[in-house]
Structure 1
Amino acid sequence: MISFNQAAVVAHDGATILHPVSLTLTEQRVSVIGANGSGKSTLARLINGLVEPSSGSVSILPPQLREGVAAAGSAAAADGTDRHGATSATAPALDTVADGPAVRRAVGFVFTDPAAQLIMPTVIEDVELSLRRSHKHAGDRRAAALTALARFGLDGFAERSVHALSGGQQQLLAIATVLATNPRILVTDEPTTLLDLRNTSVIADLLLSLPQQVVIVTHNLELAARADRTLVVSDGHVVFDGEPHAAIAHYRASVAAA
């Protein structure tokens, strides 16, 4: 569950990139659409703290917490309640600023260009790098990395250079590397933009089959339509929030009227 509470982003020059937005995302599949420069990527990056709100807040709430519980921060009070009154019997909400490291462990992020996150020489080394915190022993880390690669049909490429993979394979590897850490939420920013039709279908089907809550920023309206809920972002505002086909119709109408 993702909660925005009057979250806004203002650039250093004073320009507003994202106007205050308040919403709670509980759906399993959420798509975000809008023109280039509309603010949709900024909205997505707020979710895992890659961008911090200039005002307001963004928090990640465990499913057992009731809607409306504010971000609880990282510490609980001595009487067993957090500073917003939630009991320690339930996990606290995570604020993307106050609890940044914990949020980034809970929320995985996949970039448009997999080259932005594939940094090790070989495929298996890249997955192992993401597992260094959770698997301290090298042998355990190697085994877990191989399991993650096998899940996405990449185990045969373990010792191959990441630069020798096709675009689709690189995007699969980027997703495998993030999912190897078992995040609760996966945010993807234009995951199919650089792919051909076949690999677009492969990545789309994969994202929509995951058990995690998935937020997909995309220009691919067919992919957006397969979500449970769609946000339309324009000029830094969320201008439509609702059923995907209605959202897409709203977006098409706004483009035609421009």
Structure 2
Amino acid sequence: MIEAHGLGVEIDGATILADVTVALSEPRVAVIGRNGSGKSTFARTLNGLVRPTAGRVEVDGVDVGRAPKRARERVGFLFTQPEAQILMPTPAEDLALSARAAGVPRAEVAGRVAAHLEAFGLAAHANQPAYSLSGGQKQLLALAAVLLGAPRILVADEPTTLLDLHNARRIGDLLLSGAGARQVVLVTHDLDLAARCDVALRFDEGRLAAVGAPDEIIAAYRAEAA
């Protein structure tokens, strides 16, 4: 569902990604690497947040560079900081906005919102000011909003970095449990979470350094870091 061919990104004369070529059909994809390695930039090319300056990337048969709007209809994106994508005053209003944007019929919006609030443990906070939610609750709300759009591919860019252990595990479980219904691309520093994926990519200095079984890729990465 994801293919990159000679993908490169240059920003203000600096090479961020270079010559990335890979084909990914596995349900759960882990993307690991040091800070500044290019992994988040790669993730952002998948729905047009970052435009390639060389090569191309395709998602679900759509060339992202040529048709970013069509790509975003297929690719949901979850940011590290949920505040970046919570737009409305309360969780119920925020999910209603996402439901309407996803084309849910007006008569079904309330029911769809209620179901998502319940599924993500936010029913008791439906009308609470979104700014007053805990960090974990905000990330749950952001994830619920993204999934209301029923994306074919879900990209999560370090979604557990700012969370405590309990909430990090909960978000990780929710992300990976949906694999099969959708393809999940998980950019993470949590190597235990990465190990639960079907394939791992390791980036280093803007290049795709390795692709393979997560246990092998992670073991090599740990050895290099040591």
Q: TM-score range by the shorter chain?
A: over 0.9
Alignment counterpart, residue 238 of structure 1, candidates 205, 208, 211: 208
SS in structure 2 of the partner of residue 10 of structure 1:
strand
TM value normalised by structure 2? 0.95
Structural RMSD (CA): 1.2
Higher relative contact order (CA 8 A, sep 6+): 2
CA distance in 2, matches of 1:94, 1:215: 17
Task: Give unpaired runs (5+ residues) of structure 1.
Answer: 62-92
Deviation at 1:153? 2.1
Alignment of 1:176-187 (within 5 A): 176-187=144-155
How many pairs align? 223
Alignment counterpart, residue 251 of structure 1, candidates 210, 221, 224: 221
- The answer to which structure has the higher strand fraction is 2
In the TM superposition, what whole-angstrom CA distance separates every residue of 1:160-214 from its partner, at most 9, and x where no partner exists? 1111211111111110000001000100000100111111111111111003110
Deviation at 1:20? 1.1
Deviation at 1:226? 0.7
Deviation at 1:136? 5.2
CA distance in 2, matches of 1:135, 1:207: 22
Q: Percent identity?
A: 49
TM value normalised by structure 1? 0.84
Contact kept in structure 2, 1:240 and 1:250, CA below 8 Å: no
Deviation at 1:57? 0.7
Deviation at 1:98? 1.7
Contact kept in structure 2, 1:17 and 1:39, CA below 8 Å: yes
Alignment of 1:1-258 (within 5 A): 1-12=1-12, 14-61=13-60, 93-133=61-101, 134-135=103-104, 137=106, 139-210=107-178, 211-256=181-226
Task: Give unpaired runs (5+ residues) of structure 2.
Answer: none
The one-letter code sitting in structure 2 at the alignment partner of 1:209 is: S
- The answer to which structure has the higher helix fraction is 2
Deviation at 1:216? 0.3
CA distance in 1, matches of 2:119, 2:72: 23
The one-letter code sitting in structure 1 at the alignment partner of 2:9 is: V
- 1:65 is aligned to none
